Amino acid sequence: MKDVSATPYAQRLLELHLPRYGEIPRIDLYMDQLVGFLEETLAPLYQPDEKIITRSMVNNYVKQGVLAAATGKKYTRAHVAYLVVICTLKQTFSLSEIDLLIRRQIATFDTGVAYDYYCDAFEAAVRALFGARPASPQGLASGDAPGDFERDLVLASTAAVAYTLHIKASVALIQEESAAGIGSQGVAGPA
């Protein structure tokens, strides 16, 4: 059985720390600073050949209404939080789905609270799948209390992204083994 959790990619994911709202720079950032911060922060999630964020992507998110325009060419802490969520969710979801998920969260919770909950759920889902003893991410609350539906959306979306990352890591492992001449030739798959 292949051990995806032992790969360098899995180890980078396990060390991932998404900055909480209070850890995001308090000073507003220019575009180049914003892109640099996000690339550094989110690098563990992406393969070396994948583009994390570019100026064009940021401008496209603004143009599509998913991200508010910069004020005086500077991006705030809220912009950074939105972009962290967008850049993590885009692994699995369309931009319109991401926009809907973000809008639902901030209609229910303060931006900082919603963002920090998202970061906690995302890191927990990644740790569950890539840890030494892989397990399913946290299940849904499915309660009737205010905010339960929105919390479930976060848990489900972060689990979906974690599973996507697991598939990407598995594919990379298979490709590495193939390139090295290691493999399971002659093994039949499901019928």
Q: Domain segments of the chain: what residues? A: 4-170
| Pair 76, 26: CB distance under 8 Å | no
pTM value is 0.88
| Pair 16, 8: CB distance under 8 Å | no
Name the band, by pLDDT with cuts 50, 70 and 90, for residue 186.
Answer: very low
DSSP 19: P
- H-helix or E-strand containing 33? helix 31-42
Q: Mind listing the pLDDT tens digit for each residue in 114-161?
A: 999 999 999 999 999 998 888 888 878 777 888 889 999 999 999 999
- How far is residue 157's CA from residue 53's CA, in Å, rounded to a whole number? 20
Name the phi and psi angles at 71, rounded to 5: -100, 115
